[in-house]
């Protein structure tokens, strides 16, 4: 045991004796100092200086960002107060928007308005077909993918067929375009009517209109 320790000591002593002359030369000393300096700076730079600088910069950035967010929040609060005042000023007129685009489909209302328009023009429908309409705005059809449901949300189609002279047809179509309830005309088909006879305004024409009515289908306005 003692012999082993002594042998190890002699070995290390031999190493030291081999290194010692090398370290004594100024050139080797300079190289060693430079190498260890670079390595030490690299090591401490990576494990100590970098995290510290990062933390400092992150905190400074956070303070700047918070100040900007605070300023923008204050601006937005002021804007919201202005918006609330503007909204209150137009609140009495909001029913006009609800009439133009109601929250629910209100298909019956559309049909009634079209019937009244037709009566004003002295005509009646030959046929009026309304496609599937949800009774409540939030109803979702049982069939069809989610994408299809979203695409159909907020409008429904219907078609109107009537026989009338050209002047009445024009007046009826103009009336639809001037209706407060927003209705778009998808297609218009005018062909000579099969019905016999000539009306006051000229020869009878068969008008087939495909229309689309819109609604907000949700709480967009209700929540205001």
Nearer to another protein, 75 or 186 (CB): 75
- Name which of residues 63 to 92 contact another protein (CB under 8 A): 65-66, 68-69, 72-73, 75-76, 79-80, 82-83, 86-87, 90
Cα separation, 154 vs 143, in Å, equals: 17
- Which string of x and - marks every residue 143-172 that binds another protein (by CB under 8 A)? ------------------------------
Cα separation, 187 vs 203, in Å, equals: 22
H/E element, 158: strand 155-164
Of 120, 167, 189, 220, which lies in the binding site for another protein, with binding defined by CB under 8 A?
A: 120
* Count, residues near another protein per rule CB under 8 A: 51
By the 10 Å C-beta count (0-12 exposed, 13-18 middle, 19+ buried), 208 is classed as middle
Nearer to another protein, 84 or 129 (CB): 84
Any residues with CB less than 8 A from the CB of 113 and at least 6 apart, and which? 179, 181
- Name which of residues 14 to 43 contact another protein (CB under 8 A): 27-28, 31, 34-36, 38-39, 41-42
Of 49, 138, 151, 188, which lies in the binding site for another protein, with binding defined by CB under 8 A?
A: 49
Q: What is the dihedral of CA 18, 20, 22, 26, to 10 degrees?
A: 180
**Phi, psi (degrees; rounded to nearest 5) at 159:** -130, 150
Is residue 48 a contact partner of residue 56, using CB atoms and an 8 Å limit? no
H/E element, 155: strand 155-164
Quote the least distance from Cβ 98 to another protein, whole Å: 10
Under the binding rule (CB under 8 A), the answer on residue 179 touching another protein is yes
Is residue 131 a contact partner of residue 158, using CB atoms and an 8 Å limit? yes
Nearer to another protein, 57 or 140 (CB): 57
Cα separation, 116 vs 113, in Å, equals: 5
Q: Which stretch binds another protein (CB under 8 A): 8-16, 94-102, 185-193, 201-209?
A: 94-102
Interface ranges with another protein (CB under 8 A): 27-28, 31, 34-36, 38-39, 41-42, 45-46, 49-50, 53-54, 57-58, 61-62, 65-66, 68-69, 72-73, 75-76, 79-80, 82-83, 86-87, 90, 93, 96-97, 99-100, 112-114, 116-117, 120, 175, 178-181
């Amino acid at each position: 045991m003692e012999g082993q320790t002594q042998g190890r000591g002699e070995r290390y002593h031999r190493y030291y004796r081999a290194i010692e002359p090398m370290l004594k030369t100024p050139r080797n000393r300079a190289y060693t100092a430079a190498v260890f300096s670079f390595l030490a700076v690299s090591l401490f730079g990576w494990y100590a200086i970098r995290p510290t600088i990062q933390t400092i910069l992150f905190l400074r950035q956070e303070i700047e960002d918070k100040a900007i967010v605070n300023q923008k929040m204050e601006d937005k609060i002021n804007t919201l107060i202005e918006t609330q005042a503007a909204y209150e000023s137009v609140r009495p007129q909001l029913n006009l928007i609800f009439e133009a685009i109601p929250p629910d489909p209100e298909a019956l209302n559309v049909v009634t308005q079209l019937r009244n328009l037709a009566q004003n023009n002295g005509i009646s429908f030959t046929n009026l077909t309304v496609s599937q309409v949800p009774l409540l705005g939030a109803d979702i059809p049982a069939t069809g993918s989610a994408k299809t449901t979203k695409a159909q949300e907020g409008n429904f189609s219907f078609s109107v067929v009537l026989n009338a002279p050209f002047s009445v047809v024009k007046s009826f179509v103009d009336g639809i375009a001037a209706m407060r309830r927003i209705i778009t005309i998808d297609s218009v088909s005018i062909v000579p009517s099969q019905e016999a006879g000539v009306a006051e305004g000229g020869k009878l024409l068969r008008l087939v209109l495909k229309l689309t009515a819109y609604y907000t289908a949700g709480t967009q306005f209700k929540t205001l």
